Amino acid sequence: MALIRSQDREGVRLLTLDHPPVNALSFALSKELLAAIASAEAQASVRAVVFSGANGIFSAGADVNDFRDEMPADATTIRDVIAAVERGGKTYIAAIESTAMGGALELALACDYRLAAPRSKLGLPEIRLGIIPGAGGTQRLPRVIGAQAALEMMLKGESIPAEEAKRRGLIDEVVEGDLVEAALALAARAIQSEPKRRLSQRKVEIAAGVHAFALPYVVAQAHKMCPPEDRGGLAAHKLVDAVQAAFELPFERGLAREYRLFDQLVRSAPAQALMHLFFAERELAKVPGLSGAQAREIEKAGVVGGGTMGTGIAITFANAGIPVTVIEPAEEQVEKAKQMVFGMFMHQVQRGRLTQEEAWRRGQSIVFSDDYGELGDADVVIEAVFEQLDLKRHVFERLDAVTKAGAILASNTSTLDIDAMAAVTSRPQQVLGLHFFAPANIMKLLEIVRGAQTAPQTLATAFKLAKTLRKVAVLSGNAFGFIGNRMLFDYAREAVYLAEEGVPPHRVDAALKEFGMAMGPFAMFDLSGIDVFRNVQLVRREKGAARTAIVERLCALRRFGQKSGAGFYRYEKGSRDPVPDPETERLFAEEAAKAGVERRQDVSDEEIVSRTIYALINAGANLLHDGVALRSGDIDVAYIYGYGFPPHRGGPMWYADELGVAEVLDGVMRFRQRLGEHWEPSPLLVEIARGGGTFAEHGKELTHA
């Protein structure tokens, strides 16, 4: 079927992009659109061209699949289409409905006039894929809104609403009513009296009132604000260079600079990693057996436990417009929870993200009670009580007795057995884990944990709920620690072992932050609470999770982390900044001596990174081998959104593929020989390394099932 629909009316040709679902500007569509433009240019009776989109959307931009492989030499791209518009003799108008992202906005910027519907959003989000706009966006946008504003918009990768776009001069008019008819009417007027307005003919200003002499300073400051190139900032620095070219060079030369920078970036390792994550995130819900499952509607929710986590979950439901009842018997805790709710919504009002009325409405949608009977009409109830299995089983027994037959019962546990909780209910098919990450109302990751009897409909409902809550949902099997924490245990083990061997905690953290982790492991332990870390260690002690009593020693000294002012680090009053503490190093040395752990002086930063990250990879390989995780991409997404793994490295499993799985296996084997059998390589790691494959290929059939 044709991807471009053409219609003539009184000297105006309407070209409609018709490539469901989002009118992606693929090579195939670009080829048809280029031919349609050539046809319009060749006909004297056609004096203006209007671009619009079918399906209620202009276009979401380029087809990212086109960037994953080498581009065919004969491919027609949106660059070719825009070049044809630029040199064309007709008047061009873009009628933007719903969305104009990336290449679609670049096409609109090449036009003489731009109209948009009120609900439309416009943006150049390429930076999120580790690239820059590559079809003139870095050259035309600065000519509309100024170099500084354009750079800020592209560096953030955010979209702006139509009214904001009009205020900035990015579009000419926001149209209430029939957008295409308004565009056709504008075209008719433009034919008679309005001149063509190619942005390529405009001069670039830095910003209103800013003299051109300030350009070197503005450029230097922009580079200074970007992360280093080798720590995820490669595309950002190239974007600054491209916008600088728009200011300093004639349009054609600036365009050539942009093309060269884009072409360098699109095949770079960071861009390929970010594109991997882009597709991995879209494949998360592709679960065998779910295609025919009908998700239930969630209209009312319940939460058991009014602590920090339970209250955060309640706020998440309120933000999604779902009323929620929180069961909490302790009056003191209820007051703390109410203060947290009030403070959170007031903060949103102060930031301009909510009106007073909306904040009040959301706050009122959270009700506190000590009566389980109040949960009788809830569609889903999430327990968020203390991480103790007997307590959780007791909660599930009570929930099973009071909730309606169709209600889904979920646990927010981060480690415990979902099947053990389901076993005390009469509805194990409606029981699963919904593991939120703290703070629950901010962190995007949600682990959906499937029990042995969890029904497809229950899983389908969970995925739909996650989307409503604006969470990124990753499916996990029911294994201790699930995906994220199970891998974290091995990562944490090596961090602690390194400190026992004489590497100061702050040096371990510094090496991993240099690698790109958002936070080092010891700072993370202090943030979550060392007493929490101790509880996990107690459960896993039989697996060799600790060689010394360092964690028990810290807890005995009431060094619980940030909440007590000291942990692996110390903290100044009122500050969350970790300060290295010689006392911690002394305690590590004492405990290492008691346990007979050999101290070393020769540990390099490279060893710190390889020991911790290879442990993470090996654990991930075991999860794939055991079926706890479906795909390597699921693991990568979980670690990006939940654990601060650097996105430009694509996640631990993608990083292993980039290093070479055989190289990782060699490292694991060396560590096993030197450090012990807890470094036993995963069977899947061995299989893929010896077969010359990649983790990305493992489970690929699930994606295309």
**Catalytic residue positions?**
106, 126
Number of other CB atoms surrounding residue 511 within 10 Å: 21
CB 318 within 8 A of CB 362: yes
Go through the chain and tell me how many residues it has: 705
Q: What are phi and psi of 433, to 5 degrees?
A: -100, 135
Omega before 646 within 30 of 0, i.e. cis: no
CA 504 to mean position of chain CA atoms:
32
Number of other CB atoms surrounding residue 294 within 10 Å: 9
The helix/strand/coil state of 34 is helix
Eight-class DSSP state of 25: B
The helix/strand/coil state of 437 is coil
- Residue 112: HSE in the Cβ half-sphere, 13 Å Cα cutoff: 21
55: its two tokens:
């399906």
The helix/strand/coil state of 376 is coil
Q: What are phi and psi of 414, to 5 degrees?
A: -100, -10
Omega before 439 within 30 of 0, i.e. cis: yes
Q: Can you spell out the DSSP letters for 206-267? A: SSTT--GGGHHHHHHHHHHHSPPGGGTTHHHHHHHHHHHHHHHS-HHHHHHHHHHHHHHHHT
C-alpha distances in Å from residue 537, one per residue of 161, 206, 432, 496, 547: 49, 56, 25, 12, 11
Q: What share of the chain is helix, strand, coil (3-state, %, to 5)?
A: 55, 10, 35
Cα dihedral: 56, 61, 66, 72 (round 10) = 100
Q: What are phi and psi of 596, to 5 degrees?
A: 70, 30
C-alpha distances in Å from residue 39, one per residue of 353, 631, 632: 47, 47, 47
Do strands 366-369 and 324-327 pair parallel, antiparallel, or not at all (unpaired)? parallel
Rounded CA gap, 375 and 533, in Å?
A: 33
